[in-house]
């Protein structure tokens, strides 16, 4: 096992993993699913069906429309009732289809299974990952086929699997490791074959001793090394996990492949195994539905397109009115204002918080205590950046590396003045990006203006 290198900063929020002992339950079939055509970073998928079409479970509804995009598959059989839009987690409208179930859940002809994947060409396995529409299921939703296709000049030698699940309250990955260790191990080795690497490291925090013990037992005779990690948020962030397991540091503006690493979430490698071994595309996922207002918190396997309202109903409904509903976990999740939002490929959790758990928001002036500096895993100075951003000094904030912020929430969690530090960072990153795009557009317009006019054609 490799030496473990503690990363800088981090915090210890209460774990509150009240659903860790609840086995995964497959959600019953619904009468209607609202399926977004963008469940990934990048361009929306290109629709292949029309209103009135009948479809089968697992059938391709939309294909990847760009290099950074991913296909979408039907969560059940039925009728395409409407081509429309739906509300996304960020409050934006996404292109979507409404699929009315026929109640029969008839499967489409599956993708051809590849049981002898050990002898299959890496390109064939990679193509299957792309066909199945697999994305990063830890929350980022980056198309996995791109992540597993590093340029030839990037020499990857280590595959790291993220089984940390350091976000408080969430237990979906923990239960998946306990209930499907063989498929997770197969998915890891399929990824390693695609990448051509021999070193596979699986990081799991020590607060999941049952998962550590089980995966170690099942991994005997394989190249997978199971690595217990100290409990410290955000241990599961890519850069922190890479450093903890390899002592390598991703450079500013760089990617893990720049230092020879690729990181995948355990749910993603499970989906890869399903796609390769069974020919099953990604149209469902395990999601934690939890929080003290719920009567029956737990972990469910939901079809994509399931409304949050149905997920909460399956969790027994509420015993008291929640004052906040979060998509994801309490540290990096996003508060939502509607239960009409559908579950997507990267919905790791739905968290309900009571009035007693949500303190009244009161932001005060920075008291210069420096706690945010001590806890920032990226070794930034959030307090100073926050003041710069309040003064709209975005160029200065960029010089102070605001773009390196990963929005983990450690600074906001530890701040005694209750300052909205993460929100400040998000605002600055958006404004810096907008300024760069405006500058590029102005430069392109100027170049077009200065370019010589084409010579007139001869008659």
> Could you read off the pLDDT of 58-74 as tens digits, one per residue?
999 999 999 999 999 99
pLDDT of 3: 81
CA distance 62 to 422: 35
| Domain count of the fold of the chain | 2
**Is residue 151 very low, low, confident or very high in pLDDT (cuts 50, 70, 90)?**
very high
Residue 191 lies in a domain: yes
**266 and 127 fall within a common domain:** yes
Higher pLDDT, 158 or 445: 158
Specify if 2 maps to a domain. Answer: no
Task: For the beta carbon of residue 417, count every other beta carbon within 10 angstroms.
Answer: 17
Q: Assess whether 237 and 380 both reside in one domain.
A: no
Residues 122 and 256 in one domain: yes
Q: If you ran DSSP here, which 8-state letter would residue 419 be given?
A: -
262 and 383 both lie in a single domain: no
Q: Name the packing angle between helices 172-179 and 181-195 (round to 10°).
A: 100
Q: Given a cut of 90, is residue 25 above it in pLDDT?
A: yes
In this prediction, residue 360 carries a pLDDT of 62
Same domain membership, residue 383 and residue 265: no
Mean pLDDT of 213-225: 97
Q: In this structure, is residue 226 part of a structural domain?
A: yes
User: pLDDT-based confidence at 115, cuts 50/70/90?
Assistant: confident
Same domain, 130 and 260: yes
CATH code, 256 = 3.40.50.11540
Looking at the fold, whether 261 and 376 belong to one and the same domain comes out as no
Q: Is residue 319 part of a domain?
A: no
What mean pLDDT comes out for the span 23-34?
A: 97
Which of 218, 252, 278 is at the close of a domain?
278
Q: Is residue 14 part of a domain?
A: no
Buried b (16+ CB within 10 A) or exposed e, 319-347: eeebebbbbbbbbbbeebeeeebbbbbbb
Residues 267 and 123 in one domain: yes
Q: Give me the mean pLDDT over the 323-333 stretch.
A: 95
Is pLDDT of 458 > 90?
A: no
Query: Is-cis flag, bond preceding 308, omega within 30?
Result: no
pLDDT at 364: 85
* The pLDDT value given to residue 332: 94
Match 């299957």 to its residue by tokens.
128
Tell me phi and psi for residue 349, to 5 degrees: -165, 160
Q: What is the pLDDT of residues 276-312, one digit of tens each?
A: 999 999 999 999 999 999 999 999 999 999 999 999 9
Is 273 found in the same domain as 136?
yes
What pLDDT sits at residue 459? 45
Residue span of the structural domain in which 377 resides: 371-438
- pLDDT score for 446: 86
- pLDDT tens for 354-410 read 998 887 667 788 999 999 999 999 999 999 999 999 999 999 999 999 999 999 999
Where a domain ends, among 244, 278, 312? 278
Cis peptide before 234 (omega within 30 of 0): yes
Share of the chain above pLDDT 70, in %: 98
Dihedral angle computed from the Cα positions of residues 366, 333, 310 and 169, in that order, rounded to the nearest 10 degrees: -100
Check residue 356 and give its pLDDT: 87
Token pair 């990955």 is found at 173
pLDDT of residue 358: 85
Cα–Cα distance, 63 to 403 (Å, whole number): 32
Q: Sign of the C-alpha dihedral, residues 380, 6, 350, 188?
A: positive
Answer yes or no: is pLDDT of 197 > 80. Answer: yes
Q: Tell me, yes or no, whether 164 lies in a domain.
A: yes
HSE-CB for 413 with a 13 A CA cutoff: 20
- Given 214, 246, 278, the domain boundary residue is 278
The yes-or-no verdict on residue 139 having pLDDT over 80 is no
What is the average per-residue pLDDT within 104-114? 92
**CA dihedral sign, ordered 73, 79, 83, 84:** negative
- Give 434's contacts (C-beta < 8 A, 6+ positions apart): none
C-alpha distances in angstroms, 118 versus 145, 200, 315, 374, 437? 18, 16, 40, 46, 45
pLDDT at 323 over 70: yes
Position 125 in a domain? yes
Global pTM?
A: 0.93
Average pLDDT over residues 172-189: 98
Distance CA 354, CA 359 (A): 10
Domain shared by 259 and 389, yes or no: no
Residue 103 within a domain: no
The predicted model gives 420-430 an average pLDDT of: 94
Give 253's pLDDT tier (boundaries 50, 70, 90).
confident
* One domain for residues 124 and 269: yes
Residue 453: pLDDT above 80? no
Please report the pLDDT score of residue 70 as a whole number. 96
């Amino acid at each position: 096992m490799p030496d473990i290198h503690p990363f800088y900063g981090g915090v210890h929020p209460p774990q509150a993993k009240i659903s860790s002992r609840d086995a995964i339950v497959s959600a019953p079939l619904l009468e209607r699913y609202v399926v977004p055509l963008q469940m990934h970073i990048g361009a929306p998928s290109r629709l292949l069906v029309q209103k009135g079409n009948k479809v089968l479970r697992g059938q391709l509804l939309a294909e990847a429309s760009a290099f950074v995009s991913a296909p979408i598959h039907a969560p059940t059989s039925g009728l395409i009732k409407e081509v429309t839009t739906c509300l996304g987690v960020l409050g934006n409208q996404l292109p979507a289809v409404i699929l009315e179930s026929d109640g029969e859940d008839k499967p489409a002809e599956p993708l051809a299974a590849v049981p002898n994947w050990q002898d299959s060409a890496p390109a064939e396995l990679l193509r299957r990952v792309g066909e199945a529409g697999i994305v990063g299921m830890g929350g980022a939703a980056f198309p996995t086929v791109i992540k597993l296709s590093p340029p030839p000049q990037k020499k990857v030698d280590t595959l790291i699997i993220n089984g940390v699940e350091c976000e408080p309250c969430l237990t979906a990955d923990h239960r998946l490791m306990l209930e499907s260790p063989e498929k997770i191990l197969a998915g890891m080795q399929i990824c390693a074959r695609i990448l051509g690497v021999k070193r596979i490291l699986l990081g799991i925090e020590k607060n999941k001793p049952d998962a550590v013990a089980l995966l170690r037992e099942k991994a005997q005779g394989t190249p997978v090394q199971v690595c217990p990690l100290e409990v410290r948020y955000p241990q599961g962030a890519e850069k922190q996990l890479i450093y903890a397991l390899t002592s390598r540091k991703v450079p500013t503006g760089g990617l893990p492949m720049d230092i020879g690493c690729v990181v995948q979430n355990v749910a993603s490698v499970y989906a890869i195994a399903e796609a390769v071994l069974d020919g099953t595309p990604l149209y469902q996922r395990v999601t934690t539905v939890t929080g003290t207002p719920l009567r029956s918190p737990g972990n469910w396997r939901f079809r994509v397109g399931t409304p949050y309202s149905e997920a909460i109903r399956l969790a027994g409904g509420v015993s008291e009115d929640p004052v906040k509903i979060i998509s994801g976990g309490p540290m990096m999740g996003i508060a939502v204002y509607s239960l009409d939002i559908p579950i997507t490929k990267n919905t790791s959790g739905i968290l309900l918080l009571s009035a007693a758990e949500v303190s009244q928001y009161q932001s005060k002036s920075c008291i210069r205590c420096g706690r945010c500096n001590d806890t920032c895993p990226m070794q930034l100075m959030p307090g100073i950046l926050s003041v710069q951003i309040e003064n709209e000094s975005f160029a200065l904030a960029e010089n102070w590396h605001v773009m390196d912020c990963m929005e983990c929430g450690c600074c906001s969690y530890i701040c005694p003045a209750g300052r909205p530090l993460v929100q400040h960072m998000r605002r600055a990153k958006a404004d810096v990006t907008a300024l760069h795009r405006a500058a590029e557009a102005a430069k392109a317009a100027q170049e077009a203006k200065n370019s010589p006019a084409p010579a007139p054609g001869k008659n």
